Amino acid sequence: MILGDLLGTPVLDADGGRLGRVADVRFVLDGAPHQLMAEPRLLGLVVGPHSAASFMGYERNGLTRPYMIARILRWRHRGSFLVLWEDVAMVGARSVRLRPGFSRYSTALEDGAEA
Amino acid sequence: MTSAPAPLPKAPHVAGRILDAQLHLMDRQVLDHDGVPVTTVDDLEVSGPALDVEIARGTPPPVITALLTGSVLGTRIFGGRPPSSRLIRIPWKDVAEVGVVVRLGVKGEPLDASWVERWVRDKIIARIPGGRHDPR
C-alpha cells in the first residue's frame, strides 16, 4: 500500500470510538539487512487527537525554540500517542481500528526529551 | 483549564534507529552517491497490510519497499494522489543513508526518477548551439 493513504486516516478503538487521526507512521531500521541499509519495519502509528497531520514534530522531540512556535505546535499536537503495530486490528480505506485494550505510549523520540 | 494528564509510558526500547515517515523521510531531497540531486521523497510504498482485512495477531509488520516520486504538484494543491502506476519507485535497497537528505548508494543517471531531466537535456538543451559541451 501507499503510505500517504494511511496518513490522516481516522483511528477508532475496538468499539468504534474515535481517537484521532494517523499523524505519522513510525518505522525502525531493524528489518532484513540489505547491502546498504536494513529494511525499515513498521513499529507503530502516531495518533493525533486534534490535528490531521503532525507539523515539524515538536511534540516528539525536546526542542523548545523558537519558544512561541514550540508552545503553539505542542499545544496543537497535545494528547498525541503511539500505538504499536501489535495493537492495530485492521487498516481500512477510511479508518484504522485498534484492538481492545490497546496501549498508548509516548511519542517522544529516543533522542528527544519527554513530550 | 483542566489539569495536565499523566505522562504516557515510554515505548518499548528497540535496537534499530527510529524513522518517522513524515518527520524523517517525506519531502526530503534524494541525492545519488555522487551528491547529485535526483528527486524528493513524495510518498513511500509499504509491503502491507491489505486494506479492510482483519490483521491476525502475530502478523509480521510491513516494511518500506520503495521511495515514491512523480508529478505530484497538482494533487498537492487539489488533494488526492496520482494513481500508483504513475508514481516512480526507488527501491529501498538503493538507499544508503537517511539524514537531512536521503542518499542513494547508486548513480542517479539511470534511475527512472530522473527521466524528465535526461529528456530535457537530450531533446532541448542539446539542440541549442553550444549546448553539447561544458560552459567555458
Hey, where are the domains in chain A? Answer: 3-98
Give whole-number Cα distances, A69 to A22, A51, A56, A59, A100, in Å. Answer: 22, 16, 10, 12, 36
What global pTM score does this model have? 0.85
Q: Give the nearest chain A residue to B105 (CA atoms).
A: A36
Look at residue B90 and tell me if it is in a domain.
yes
Between positions 32 and 51 of A, the ones with CB within 8 A of B are 32, 34-44, 46
Look at residue B5 and tell me if it is in a domain.
no
B73 to chain A, minimum CA–CA distance in Å?
15
**With contacts defined as CB-CB under 8 Å, which chain B residues touch A3?**
21, 43-46, 64
- Asked if residue B86 has pLDDT above 80, the reply is yes
Of A8-17, A71-80, A82-91, B92-101, the least confident: A71-80
- B62 near B48, Cβ under 8 Å? yes
Question: Residues in chain B, how many?
Answer: 136
- pLDDT 10s digits, A19-64: 999 999 999 998 778 888 899 999 999 999 987 777 888 888 878 8
Of B15, B19, B97, the CB nearest to A40: B19
Instruction: Give the total number of structural domains in chain B.
Output: 1
- Asked if residue B51 has pLDDT above 60, the reply is yes
Selected residue of B20, B47, B55 to mutate for chain A interface (largest A Cβ count, 10 A): B20
Q: What is the CATH number of the domain that holds B117?
A: 2.30.30.240
pLDDT at B120: 92
Selected residue of A5, A37, A107, A114 to mutate for chain B interface (largest B Cβ count, 10 A): A37
Which residue is it, cell 512561541?
Answer: A68
Give me the percent of chain B exceeding a pLDDT of 90.
Answer: 44
pLDDT at B2: 55
How does strand A88-91 pair with strand A96-98?
Answer: antiparallel
- Mean pLDDT (chain A) is 87
A46-84 b/e (C-beta count within 10 Å ≥ 16 → b): bbbeebeebbebbbbbeeeeeeeebeebbeebeebbbbb
CATH fold of A3-98, please?
SH3 type barrels. (2.30.30)
ipTM here = 0.83
pLDDT confidence of B1, banded at 50, 70, 90?
very low
B38 to chain A, minimum CA–CA distance in Å?
18
pLDDT at A114: 42
Look at residue B134 and tell me if it is in a domain.
no
- Mean pLDDT (chain B) is 88
Which sign does the torsion angle of CA B66, B71, B77, B78 carry?
Answer: negative
> What's the grid cell of residue B26?
517525506
Greater pLDDT, B46 or A61 = B46
pLDDT at A113: 43
Answer whether A34 sits within 8 Å of B92, measured CB to CB. yes
Between positions 66 and 85 of B, the ones with CB within 8 A of A are 68, 81, 84
Count of CB pairs separated by less than 8 Å, A with B: 147
Assess whether the previous peptide bond of B49 is cis (omega < 30° from 0).
yes
SS (H, E, C) chain B: CCCCCCCCCCCCCCCCCEEEHHHHHCCCEEECCCCCEEEECCEEEECCCCCCEECCCCCCCCEEEEEEECCCHHHHHHCCCCCHHHCEEEEHHHEEEECCCEEECCCCCCCHHHHHHHHHHHHCHHHCCCCCCCCC
What is the gyration radius of the CA atoms in chain A, in angstroms? 15
- Asked if residue B27 has pLDDT above 50, the reply is yes
> What's the grid cell of residue B71?
508529478
Selected residue of B1, B42, B57, B64 to mutate for chain A interface (largest A Cβ count, 10 A): B64
- Asked if residue B28 has pLDDT above 50, the reply is yes
pLDDT at B3: 59
pLDDT at B116: 85
pLDDT at A54: 77
Give the residue numbers spanning the domain of B115.
21-49+60-127
Look at residue B36 and tell me if it is in a domain.
yes
Q: Is B51 on the interface with A (CB under 8 A)?
A: yes
Torsion from C-alpha of A3, A61, A108, B66, nearest 10 degrees: 20
